[in-house]
Structure 1
Amino acid sequence: MSANSISRSYVAAGAIGARLITKYTNNRGEVAQASAATDRLAGVTELGAAAAKDMVDVAREGMDKVTVGGNVAAGDYLTSDANGKAVKAVGIAGQTVFVIGQAEEPGVANDTIHYTIAPSVIVLPA
């Protein structure tokens, strides 16, 4: 991982791209590529994993880089889109939106930006 983050190694449930958001699976020590803001997010990969059972490092604390899936502004809180890319986190009535952190700089689709790792949730009443 980046010199500015602390990471943990996980077993990949399948292929996961580089600098993409991961989610926890129901298997101990395993992550998969995230696909929704409502996924229980684990963190962001550096190099990714080519296939299931590969080891993958996931940033868990500090500051790192993530690929964005659309326009984000510096200061936006970030969650996952359908492709594991970071997008602005927006509350969804009656659901829990999981946040990986806060953008340190603006970006547009497919840019890789710095973000501060700050896992949290947004919960809105139904």
Structure 2
Amino acid sequence: MNPHTKTFTASGAIGHRRQVKFTATDGVVALATAPTDVIAGVTDFPGGATDGKRIDVVLFGPAEIECGGTMTPGATFTTDATGRAVAAAPAAGVNNYIGGRVHENTVIGDYATAFINPSRIQG
């Protein structure tokens, strides 16, 4: 196993190449659905996982992610309501949790190479 990929238990259905967030339960992740969610990483589990099943999550490093909007190379991304990557653009004084940076131009529905490095930014 890659040291930057960890297997978690899915809370609810989670698709492949989607961002996930930590939950209050150790070892359990759920689909990230808002920029205020603390992003754990991006799933790397073709076919996804159903509730209670195991799912692999890239915590740091290169991965592919499904995009929910237009971004340019180097853009920081957060999550939309379905766990897809969208450009992070917090208002002044507002925090957004981010999953990392994309490496290429994207539009909605693209699968893009990204560097996963969860953190937080402030507008």
TM-score when normalising by structure 2: 0.91
> Which residue is equivalent to 2:20?
22
**Correspondence list, 1:31-70, <5 A:** 31-47=29-45, 49-70=48-69
> Which residue is equivalent to 2:78?
79
Matched residues in 1 for 2:10 and 2:113: separation? 23
Residues 20 and 67 in structure 1, CA contact (< 8 A), matched pair in contact too = yes
> Which residue is equivalent to 2:91?
92
Matched residues in 1 for 2:77 and 2:13: separation? 22
Shift of 1:33: 0.6
Larger mean CA deviation between 69-78 and 5-14 belongs to 5-14
Runs of at least 4 residues off by over 3 Å: 92-95
Tell me the C-alpha RMSD between the 2 structures: 1.8
Structure 2: which 5+ residue stretches go unaligned? none
**Correspondence list, 1:98-109, <5 A:** 98-109=97-108
Matched residues in 1 for 2:49 and 2:75: separation? 30
Query: Amino acid of the residue matched to residue 97 of structure 1?
Result: N
SS at match of 2:60: strand
> Which residue is equivalent to 1:120?
119
Matched residues in 1 for 2:33 and 2:5: separation? 21
Larger mean CA deviation between 94-103 and 72-81 belongs to 94-103
Residues 12 and 49 in structure 1, CA contact (< 8 A), matched pair in contact too = no
Query: Amino acid of the residue matched to residue 121 of structure 2?
Result: I
Residues 38 and 95 in structure 1, CA contact (< 8 A), matched pair in contact too = no
> Which residue is equivalent to 1:8?
6
Matched residues in 2 for 1:118 and 1:50: separation? 23
Query: Amino acid of the residue matched to residue 26 of structure 1?
Result: A
Structure 1 residues 43, 71: CA separation in 2 closer, same or farther (over 3 Å shift)? same
Residues 22 and 42 in structure 1, CA contact (< 8 A), matched pair in contact too = yes
TM-score when normalising by structure 1: 0.89
